Structure 1
Amino acid sequence: MKFSILIANYNNGKFFEDCYHSIIAQTFTDWEAVILDDASTDDSLEVISALVKDDCRFKIFRNEVNSGVGITKSKLIELSNGDICGFVDPDDAITPDALKSSIDVFKKDKKTVLTYSSFMKCDEHLKPLEQFKSGMQVVNSDPYFFNCPVHIVHFVCFRKDVYEKTEKMNSEMKIAEDQDLYLKIYEKGKVKFIDEANYLYRTHSGGISQNENLPKSREYFAKVIFNAMKRRNLTTINGKKIPEKYSNPKEIYDLLEYQNSIPFRIMKKMKILFQ
């Protein structure tokens, strides 16, 4: 079973060394690292090429024009040759057992289509600050699961052959294209939480999903949820009608407000316990 580490790079050459060292330190050794540079304007390609040198496990590609993270990640999956895929941002890093922990789950249970772990929030120098508190197992095979609030986030790994059976990544969902992908794969089988902080998430001013991008991320995530509702042929949620067309994020998030109630949370825990 081969693992494809997928890296979409744009102007993150100055951070890539940490990412690189975390990859070559993996205890699971049957992997490839596929890097697609999205027409960076910094010296990313020079830095990355100098680090990987002649290591044939690293494959470097470049978009001729800047295409955006959604299109770039979609291309990365197409370029990969592994059975299992997982995205690692070039400014982040993974722990030594990150790949092994995931591969072990996939080998043990063929019905598992996606694994995810917790992650450690770090400062600009990759010094750990705090662990993500919302990482936990979610209910499987639930048409009303939309990963809201977010539990599936880092380190997410999935079977490539299962991805091929979905509508694939929607690059129009910008910023929230990962969540769109997770929900589509969730619909194809079991997902498994690995209770380890296997991903080191670097916070810095240039982060794609950080700072001024947060409102945009919320907007796109609402569209992702709405599309999932339609894909699952849902017409109502908790007695409320789902709109025919998307209009605004509040309308979508209001439909899921009941999932924050104490009775719902208790029921969810019971379902997870017995699944």
Structure 2
Amino acid sequence: MKKISVLIANYNNGKFFKDCYFSLINQTYSNWEAIIVDDASTDNSLEIIENLIKNDSRFQLFKNTENKGCGFTKKRCVEFANGEICGFLDPDDALFPEALEKSAGVYETGDFVAAYSKMLMCDDNLAPQNVYAGTKQIYNNPYFFNCPIQVAHFFTFRKEIYLKTPGINPDLKRAVDQDLYLKILELGEVAYIDDVLYKYRLHSAGISQQNGKQSAKDSFAYLIFEAMKRRGIKEINHHKVPDSYTNPEEIYKLLDYQTGFLYRLETKFKLFFTIPVLLFFLYSLITPIHNILTFLFE
């Protein structure tokens, strides 16, 4: 049974942490740890977190001596992780009870570097609103940049694979998860779990919401440009990749073709004949049948 490190980078989300905490202790999967790094919160986060986790050795709390930002804090989370599999959980969000079990199961079915699932959009009180419609099964190749976003929470990855990447950029303040996804997906295949495993809380203080959206979009464009350079891509869809980054729209325009009908149709065709996807699909069919037969004949 692989150990999963749930990584939590906290800054001033103490009032929401209780939901995050209870979603972890109610997991159906037992072999996990929670690594929490607090980024010098100015609210009562530390008091709340320490009070909740004080009698549970599965939780480890670390503190930045000064506010360093999202990239630095998430990078520290990975550095402290002891698990073979890692996954980020924001302190204002929560997991469904089978999230870790279903995520861990993926890594028994094939040599996947990562796995991702669907997420449920929730209101300020974590009451369900709708399932995020953008999450889809992807065809992973050098020209996949998760734009528009298809890979999202709950995203888990092998730590040994992460250590082969440049790692999370500690200077990033926005789009940190996207930076992680792009780097991990450059090193292998990713599994899509067709289940809702993550509860994403929408509230005005969220780092990716309200006035932070444009900043995140600009940061994401730069990360895509970096990925193009890292992958040695000179041209996309017969258009030259710029030698230097100037503005986000120039980068997004290069990827406009990926929203077209023909491109999406071609992607679905390729997906159907991808061996890892076929194996995972067969596993998804066989497992319930095996469970039924075991129940009938045990």
TM-score class, shorter: over 0.9
- Distance between the aligned counterparts of 1:108 and 1:272, measured in 2? 17
CA deviation after TM superposition for structure 1 residue 274, in Å: 1.1
Aligned-pair Cα RMSD in Å: 0.7
| 2:187 matched residue in structure 1 | 188
Equivalent pair of 2:114/2:155 in contact (CA under 8 Å): yes
| 1:12 matched residue in structure 2 | 13
* 1:43-70 residue CA offsets vs partner (Å, 9 max, x unmatched): 1111011111221000011000000010
Counterparts of 1:14-163 in structure 2, within 5 Å, are: 14-109=15-110, 111-140=111-140, 142-163=141-162
Unaligned segments of structure 2, at least 5 residues: 275-298
TM-score (norm 2): 0.90
CA deviation after TM superposition for structure 1 residue 258, in Å: 1.1
Equivalent pair of 1:40/1:66 in contact (CA under 8 Å): yes
CA deviation after TM superposition for structure 1 residue 225, in Å: 0.5
Establish whether residue 264 from structure 1 lines up as the match of residue 263 from structure 2.
yes
Equivalent pair of 1:85/1:158 in contact (CA under 8 Å): yes
Equivalent pair of 2:70/2:172 in contact (CA under 8 Å): no
| 2:210 matched residue in structure 1 | 211
The 4+ residue runs of structure 1 with deviation greater than 6 A are none
- The secondary structure found in structure 1 opposite 2:171 is helix
- The secondary structure found in structure 2 opposite 1:211 is coil
- The secondary structure found in structure 1 opposite 2:167 is coil
Letter in 2 for 1:123: D
* 1:62-94 residue CA offsets vs partner (Å, 9 max, x unmatched): 000000010000000000100000000111000
* 1:130-153 residue CA offsets vs partner (Å, 9 max, x unmatched): 00111111002x111000000111
- Distance between the aligned counterparts of 1:186 and 1:48, measured in 2? 33
Letter in 2 for 1:150: I
Identity of aligned residues (%): 51
Equivalent pair of 1:173/1:223 in contact (CA under 8 Å): no
TM-score (norm 1): 0.98
| 1:247 matched residue in structure 2 | 246
- The secondary structure found in structure 2 opposite 1:234 is coil
CA deviation after TM superposition for structure 1 residue 172, in Å: 2.9
- Distance between the aligned counterparts of 1:258 and 1:172, measured in 2? 31
